[in-house]
Amino acid sequence: MTTERIVGIGAGAKELATEDMTLNIGPQHPSTHGVLRLRLTLDGERISAAEPIIGYMHRGAEKLFEVRDFRQIVVLANRHDWLSAFSSELGVVLAAERMLGMEVPARAVWARTLLAELNRILNHLMFLGSYPLEVGAITPIFYAFRERETLQRVMEEISGGRMHYMFNRVGGLKEELPAGWTARARKAVSEVRGRMGDIDDLIMGNEIFRARTRGVGVLTQEQILQYGVSGPIARASGLDFDLRRDEPYLAYGDLDVRVVTRSEGDCLARFECLLDQVHASLDLADACLDRLVALPPGPINQRLPKVLKVPEGHTYAWTENPLGINGYYLVSRGEKTPWRLKLRSASFNNIQVLKELLPGNLVADMIAILGSMFFVVGDIDK
């Protein structure tokens, strides 16, 4: 007597052939870096195609700019990249001041430069803490937030805000610096510099972190130029460009701006650029404090009319924001509101390159690559 046994190999399987699978990553909750969705096409464990799908947080900020005056716009400008609020305010006021032909008091120029660098450090510390968390290391975020709180205290003291500072005004800053603030700011900068070694050792000395990021997600200079990628991500691939040095604004022309670059273009290089940039910004903050203390007493803003109207014309003001180039194209018809205010945000370009960057990589490396692109979704969707 014989026994016949039939073994199934899975529904739909034909001669052991495999079919591509489409996988949705996200949309993620806003309490992360924002609502981003990726549509991935997988060939086994490897990504064969990737499509970033944006727009879940779109608020029509550019149209909202057009129905607000030049004081009210600032409150919108500091919200698209909520980690770079002070830096995002700058572009709007710089554009308006250029159109008005307005000269800002020296104390305001140096104070703006100082606060922009403190805001840059705060931005980078957030990613220095959250990126290791995304690849499995929880401890660094506690160290990063300790340093953030040290600097947040002086930022909150001067502006009254922790994220949306609203401290820039057309013609300078909102008000004079509090008495003794520069000494407290210098102490905060010194404390952060003294403890940055803890973060360096904790993360860069971790063999697992280095193994997960070295040689992963390599971004070429050609891709950077094609997609307009900027900031630490571009400099990690060897693009030696920084507006603070190459087209100085504020007081950067009087400072020695050290531009941090790497050549590898991988996840590790992008993280190293961010880490080294914190040290460079701490040095710039000290230099600004030295100059600010040495300045004679004087105004910190210009007196403005009750209704501020910008002359007819147009201009483009761009700044080196923490995440990359941020630009405002302002068109005025001589009214108290812009006729057009177009925003060029860093994160929008930085995230579009994922379409070319992710294919060919393993799904297991996707989060490591995504986290190393350092974006804020509000800065993409505007």
* Residue 160 CB-half CA count within 13 A: 6
> Is 6 part of a structural domain of the chain?
no
Residue 11 has pLDDT above 90, yes or no: no
Task: Determine the average pLDDT of the residues in 98-125.
Answer: 96
Angle between helices 139-159 and 106-134 (to 10 degrees): 160
What confidence score (pLDDT) does residue 35 get? 78
Quote the mean pLDDT of the chain. 90
Is there a cis peptide before residue 140, judged by omega within 30 degrees of 0?
Answer: no
pLDDT in tens, 308-366: 999 999 999 999 999 999 999 999 999 999 999 999 999 999 999 999 999 999 998 99
> Is 153 part of a structural domain of the chain?
yes
Q: What backbone phi and psi angles, to 5 degrees, belong to 205?
A: -90, 5
> Is 68 part of a structural domain of the chain?
yes
Task: Determine the average pLDDT of the residues in 275-284.
Answer: 96
Q: What backbone phi and psi angles, to 5 degrees, belong to 146?
A: -60, -45
Rounded CA-CA distance 352/231 in Å is 15
Nearest residue to 328 via CA among 47, 148, 70: 70
Structure tokens at 275: 């880490």
3-state SS record for 117-174: HHHHHHHHHHHHHHHHHHCCCCHHHHHHHHHHHHHHHHHHHHHCCCCCCCCEECCEEC
Q: Give the torsion sign (CA, 361, 366, 368, 370).
A: positive
Q: What backbone phi and psi angles, to 5 degrees, belong to 300?
A: -115, 0
> Is 14 part of a structural domain of the chain?
no
- The confidence band for 28, taking pLDDT boundaries of 50, 70 and 90, is low
Q: How many residues does the chain have?
A: 382
> Is 2 part of a structural domain of the chain?
no
Task: Determine the average pLDDT of the residues in 61-90.
Answer: 91
- The confidence band for 7, taking pLDDT boundaries of 50, 70 and 90, is very low
Task: Determine the average pLDDT of the residues in 257-282.
Answer: 96
What confidence score (pLDDT) does residue 60 get? 86
Residue 67 has pLDDT above 90, yes or no: yes
pLDDT in tens, 118-152: 999 999 999 999 999 888 889 999 999 999 999 99
Residues of the domain holding 134: 21-380
Tell me 24's DSSP state: E
CB proximity list for 141: less than 8 A, separation 6 or greater: 129, 130, 132, 133
What confidence score (pLDDT) does residue 14 get? 47
Q: Is 3 exposed, middle or buried (0-12, 13-18, 19+ CB in 10 A)?
A: exposed
Residue 5 has pLDDT above 60, yes or no: no
What confidence score (pLDDT) does residue 4 get? 44
Task: Determine the average pLDDT of the residues in 88-107.
Answer: 95
pTM of the predicted protein model: 0.91
Task: Determine the average pLDDT of the residues in 365-373.
Answer: 91
> Is 16 part of a structural domain of the chain?
no
Rounded CA-CA distance 377/11 in Å is 40
CB 338 within 8 A of CB 310: yes
Q: How many domains does the chain have?
A: 1
Rounded CA-CA distance 33/122 in Å is 15
Q: For the chain, how are helix, strand and coil distributed in percent, rounded to 5?
A: 45, 15, 40
> Is 15 part of a structural domain of the chain?
no
Task: Determine the average pLDDT of the residues in 175-192.
Answer: 95
Task: Assign residue 265 the CATH number of its domain.
Answer: 1.10.645.10
Task: Determine the average pLDDT of the residues in 183-204.
Answer: 94
> Is 135 part of a structural domain of the chain?
yes
> In the chain, where does DSSP find H-type helix?
61-65, 73-77, 85-100, 106-134, 139-159, 181-199, 207-213, 221-227, 232-235, 243-246, 267-294, 346-352, 354-357, 366-371, 377-381
Rounded CA-CA distance 125/131 in Å is 10
What confidence score (pLDDT) does residue 32 get? 55
Rounded CA-CA distance 274/279 in Å is 9
- The confidence band for 18, taking pLDDT boundaries of 50, 70 and 90, is low
Q: Is 364 exposed, middle or buried (0-12, 13-18, 19+ CB in 10 A)?
A: exposed
- The confidence band for 24, taking pLDDT boundaries of 50, 70 and 90, is confident
